[in-house]
Amino acid sequence: MDAVRVLFETQPLFTLLLTVALGYVVGEINIKGVSLGSGAVLFVGLAIGGFAPKAAPPALVGTLGLLLFLYGIGIQYGAQFFDGLTSTRGLKANAAAVLGVLGAGIVSLALVPMFGLKLDESLGIFAGAGTSTATLQAVIAAMKGDGAAVGYSVAYPFGVAGPILLLYVLGAALKAKIEAPAAKVIEMAEISLRNPALIGLRFSQLKVQLPAGLTIAAVRREHHNQLPEEDLVLRMDDVLLATSTDPARLREAAALLGELQPGRMSSHREDLDYVRVFASSRAVVGLALRDIRFPDGIASSIVQVRRGDADMLPSPELILEVGDRVGLLANRAHLKALRQLFGDSIKGTAELSFISIGIGAAAGLLAGMIPLPIPGVGKLTLGLAALLLIALCLGKIRRSGPFVWTMPLSANLVLRNFGLTIFLAQVGISSGPKFFATIATTGASFLLYSLLVVLALVLVTALVCLWIFRMPFDVAAGVICGATGNPAILAFANRVAPTEQPDIGYAMIFPSMTIAKILFVEIAMALARG
């Protein structure tokens, strides 16, 4: 065993990667639907750190990992975050989550005078109860000790399992029966124009009368398919190719226009053919559909955008992202040029701009150094919270001239999950010795304190969502996920409430609550120093 200890302590990079590997093995262990996921890396790191006290990698390694995690979160959820700040639903959701965070923070601070905890230990418990690694980093950077990591590591399991258990109990108590919605898929209908009131109208005039969520992708006239021009004058027996993700809209269109005539267009592709391409070129990524310019002499229509597992009806405001699969109608002779325009490279879905990442992350770090005066508290620096804010803004902007700030979803997930894993491994190894020393002296008391903070966070958030704002259960589940923060909780919520609402709630709440938790501990530490 001494030889293994020496190996760990003399080869910190080997120890770090071994911790990551063993952590994910442990994280996959599932007990009645509950698993720790990447959080298990922290506990393996604690065990290895306790066994080999001098094995910790440099702290800069962990800081870099957390930077990658926060930057990826901000870039992906920028649009949803700002929507949450402006919409009525988003404001209510953020208000509920803020009250939950404040409740947990007050309980954690009360542990200091009531039970004699150190401030960094109580704030570490607060960070662990909210499973917020960024909050932990803020406390560690300011307090210069191991107490925060110890409190975090004790509270983290409760921060993951507690909300999951509560969601299960709430779902059973409220008898919430939520069925998974059907996947959004673009459907088409060929409709022969027979309504005399519409004959002679220009196509631009017809569009304003169509049902919402429906578009006309092509027109067949005199045995030829063509793209609909704004000044096209409609004739009797024109066949219109209508598309929508809602079959009811297609039925409404058929009743308005005339009658269904399936097969008259799809079986004739000599004029227009359908092709699906990957969006991977800078010429289109980050642009709204209305701003995409096709090469001279090439006429084409975007009839479908598939992002992830869902179809999206094209609208002029829809912004293309790397990896989107775009459905086009065009003449076969133009397909090669269109593929060049869009890139059509599956490799591009895994590539990212290190120039954009470098500029964005550097700007965030610089903003985090700026001292901000807060009345009654003093001057505070946001640190990595500022980086998250900058990333959220860039995620909202998406593109500035030649700089594409967004990343392919696959690359984003890999980058931020790797960063989070490295951070947890480094913190766990470096905090292992102090963790075991603390548990040996405090026994089960830290476990009880952690449970109290987690209950305050989850119960206050759930109470405000369900009984004050009267949110539907699936919406409330998303808010609870965003307030608590751990992706494992979101995964469980998606099983309990299999709609898109938990994902939307998480996206709106998680970034702002990460910032709220960091600000809470920054203010608490500033007041303690004053």
pLDDT at 465: 93
CA pair distance 299, 169, nearest whole angstrom: 56
Average pLDDT per block of 10 residues along the chain, 530 residues long: 82 89 83 66 84 85 85 82 81 93 95 90 92 82 78 81 82 72 74 90 89 86 86 89 86 87 72 85 84 86 80 82 85 88 75 80 88 68 79 85 78 83 84 74 80 93 93 90 81 75 80 86 82
Please give the angle made by the CA atoms of 72, 75 and 76, to the nearest 5 degrees. 85
pLDDT at 463: 94
Predicted TM-score of the model (pTM): 0.71
- The sign of the dihedral angle between the CA atoms of 261, 262, 267, 272 is positive
Q: Each residue of 143-165: b (16+ CB within 10 Å) or e?
A: bebbbbbbbbbbbbbbbbbbbbb
Using alpha carbons, select from 205, 76, 60 the residue that is nearest to residue 137.
60
pLDDT at 179: 61
pLDDT at 350: 59
pLDDT at 469: 92
- The sign of the dihedral angle between the CA atoms of 139, 70, 509, 495 is negative
Q: In one letter, which amino acid is 19?
A: T
What domains sit in the chain, N to C, each tagged with a CATH number? 187-348 (3.30.70.1450)
Report residue 58 as tokens. Answer: 């440099």
Would you give the end-to-end CA distance of the chain in angstroms? 48
Please give the angle made by the CA atoms of 27, 32 and 37, to the nearest 5 degrees. 15
Tell the burial category of 383 from Cβ atoms under 10 Å away from its Cβ (0-12, 13-18, 19+).
buried
Place of tokens 């700002």: 82
pLDDT at 349: 58
Report residue 74 as tokens. Answer: 């901000």
pLDDT at 460: 95
pLDDT at 376: 60
CA pair distance 32, 489, nearest whole angstrom: 14
8 A C-beta contact, residue 337 and residue 283 = no
- DSSP letter string, 238-274: -EEEEEES-HHHHHHHHHHHEEE-TTTTTT--SS-EE
